[in-house]
Homo-oligomer: A and B are copies of this chain.
Amino acid sequence: MIKHARPDHPIHDLVVRRWSPYAFSSRDVSTEDLRSLFEAARWAPSSYNEQPWCFIVARRSEPAPFEQVLQCLVEGNREWARQAPVLALTVARERFKRNDKPNRAAEHDVGLAVASLSVEATARGISVHQMIGILPDRAAEAFQIPEGAHALTALAIGYPAGPDEPAADVLRTRDQTPRQRKPLGEFVFGETFGTTSAIVSGA
């Protein structure tokens, strides 16, 4: 199962192939691959180079910590995410280290880091399915996340289930829904918010 984007304008293969499956293969992700994924996150840009992102990572091969991360997801996500070989929580640090002022870009910059991680994953044939549906308070307690930081999202990391691998029908069905996006004209604006940019509408 591979679900490519269907772009209206040419985009790089790594953007086309990135996709968030529900049905994961039981195949493990190697330590070397995981290091490269987090290394890619590391080189994301951030406001004042603060790098406000942290990750709490657990592998299914170690049942106790894996279950602990799983219990930090909302129930609907637990069902499918427990099949992934690797789970991670993202954590945003809310203040700048150098002056303790609030970092308005913290959550945004976690997004930049996770996207960079996903590029590396895609290049290695690995999929990342992000979830906003987590229980931040439970995560704070379970992993002793200190004041000034909070869990924001979770990531399921692994290989998409192949056609011959076991996966619940309901997940297969979810994975077969077509990928849809708004057209460019609905979010690339020019003179005012809501007015399509000439870049999009021009000849």
Contacts and interface: CB of A to CB of B under 8 A. Distances in A.
B120 A15 contact: yes
Contacts of A115: 44, 111-112, 115-116, 119
A32 B53 CA distance: 34
B193 A5 contact: no
Contact of A16 (B16, B20, B43, B130): B43
A193 B146 contact: yes
A34 B199 CA distance: 7
Copies of this chain, how many? 2
Interface string A114-149: 111011100100000010100000000001111001
A59 B145 CA distance: 44
A105 to B, nearest CB: 4
A58 interface: yes
Chain A interface category by residue count = 35 or more
Contacts of A182: 42, 51
Contact of A55 (B91, B123, B189): B189
A167 interface: no
Main DSSP-derived SS at the A contact region:
mixed
A152 B155 CA distance: 24
A152 B32 CA distance: 35
Contacts of A59: 199
B43 A7 contact: yes
A42 B184 contact: yes
A65 B192 CA distance: 10
Given A18-B43, A105-B132, A111-B107, A184 B51 contact: no
The 6 closest A-B pairs by CB, nearest first: A111-B111, A115-B115, A9-B39, A108-B111, A47-B132, A105-B132
Interface of A: 5, 7-12, 14-16, 18, 20, 31-32, 34-36, 38-40, 42-45, 47, 49, 51, 53-59, 65, 91, 104-105, 107-112, 114-116, 118-120, 123, 130, 132, 143-146, 149, 152-153, 179-182, 184, 187-194, 197, 199-200, 202
